[in-house]
Amino acid sequence: MVNGNNANVVQTILELPDLMNNMLLLLSDKEKVVINKRFSLGGNGKHTLEDIGQEFAVTRERVRQIEKSALAKMRRNVFNSTLRYIHEFVGDCVNENGGIMNEEKLVEALIDVMPANFAVDKSSIHLALNLHEKLECVGNTINFHPYVRDKSISDYSLKYASGQLVNQMYRYGNIKSIEKVHNDLKDTFEGISFDLTKIKSLIEIDKRLTLLDNELVGLLEWRHVNPRTLRDKIMYILRGEKKPMHFTEIADRISSAKFDGRSVNMQAVHNELIRHDQFVLIGRGIYALKEWGFESGTVAAVIEAILADKKELSQDEIIEQVLKQRQVKRITIMLALKDGGKFERVGRKVYKLRK
Residue 347 CB-density burial (10 A; 0-12 exposed, 13-18 middle, 19+ buried): exposed
CATH label of the domain that carries residue 316: 1.10.10
User: Are 175 and 217 within 8 A, CB to CB?
Assistant: yes
| Claim to verify: residue 195 and residue 160 sit in the same structural domain | yes
Identify whether 148 is part of a domain: no
| Claim to verify: residue 167 and residue 119 sit in the same structural domain | no
| Claim to verify: residue 71 and residue 91 sit in the same structural domain | yes
Identify whether 149 is part of a domain: no
Q: What is the mean pLDDT of the chain?
A: 90
What is the pLDDT at residue 4?
Answer: 46
Share of the chain above pLDDT 70, in %: 99
| Claim to verify: residue 105 and residue 56 sit in the same structural domain | yes
| Claim to verify: residue 237 and residue 211 sit in the same structural domain | no
Q: How far is CA 29 from CA 76, 125, 255, in A?
A: 18, 22, 50
| Claim to verify: residue 182 and residue 270 sit in the same structural domain | no
| Claim to verify: residue 75 and residue 181 sit in the same structural domain | no
| Claim to verify: residue 213 and residue 254 sit in the same structural domain | no
| Residue 61, pLDDT above cutoff 90 | yes
Q: Of 44-58, 90-104, 252-266, where does mean pLDDT reach its minimum?
A: 252-266
Identify whether 225 is part of a domain: no
| Claim to verify: residue 317 and residue 197 sit in the same structural domain | no
Residue 87's DSSP bridge partners are: none
| Claim to verify: residue 245 and residue 276 sit in the same structural domain | yes
| Claim to verify: residue 11 and residue 123 sit in the same structural domain | yes
Band of pLDDT at residue 59, cut at 50, 70 and 90: very high
Single pTM value for the model: 0.72
Identify whether 144 is part of a domain: no
298-326 pLDDT tens trace: 888 889 888 887 778 999 999 998 898 88
Identify whether 147 is part of a domain: no
Q: Looking at beta carbons, which pairs linking 191-197 to residues 24 or more positions away fall under 8 Å?
A: 192/157, 192/160, 192/161, 193/157, 194/157, 194/161, 195/98, 197/96, 197/97, 197/98
237-250 pLDDT tens trace: 998 888 999 999 99
Sign of the CA dihedral running 65, 66, 69, 70: negative
**Which of 90, 106, 138 is at the close of a domain?**
138
CATH label of the domain that carries residue 236: 1.10.10.10
User: Are 213 and 234 within 8 A, CB to CB?
Assistant: no
Share of the chain above pLDDT 90, in %: 59
159-208 pLDDT tens trace: 999 999 999 999 999 999 999 999 999 888 887 888 899 999 999 999 99
**Which of 261, 292, 323 is at the close of a domain?**
292
Its domain, for residue 131, covers: 7-138
d(CA 353, CA 344): 6
DSSP per-residue codes, 214-260: TTEEEETTSTTTS--SHHHHHHHHHHHHTS-EEHHHHHHHHHHHTSS
What mean pLDDT do residues 91-110 have? 95
Helix (H) or strand (E) holding 52: helix 49-56
Residue 219's DSSP bridge partners are: 209
| Residue 2, pLDDT above cutoff 60 | no
Identify whether 143 is part of a domain: no
| Residue 126, pLDDT above cutoff 60 | yes
| Claim to verify: residue 185 and residue 263 sit in the same structural domain | no
Band of pLDDT at residue 5, cut at 50, 70 and 90: low
What is the pLDDT at residue 233?
Answer: 92
Q: Interior CA angle at 98 toward 92 and 102, to 5°?
A: 80
| Residue 261, pLDDT above cutoff 80 | no
- Of 152 and 295, which is predicted with more confidence? 152
Identify whether 207 is part of a domain: yes
What mean pLDDT do residues 214-220 have? 91
- In three-state secondary structure terms, 180 is helix
- Cα torsion through 260, 261, 262, 265, rounded to 10: 110
d(CA 195, CA 186): 8
Number of domains in the chain: 4
**Which of 239, 265, 292 is at the close of a domain?**
292
Identify whether 2 is part of a domain: no
- Of 261 and 252, which is predicted with more confidence? 252
Q: Report which DSSP code applies to 144.
A: B
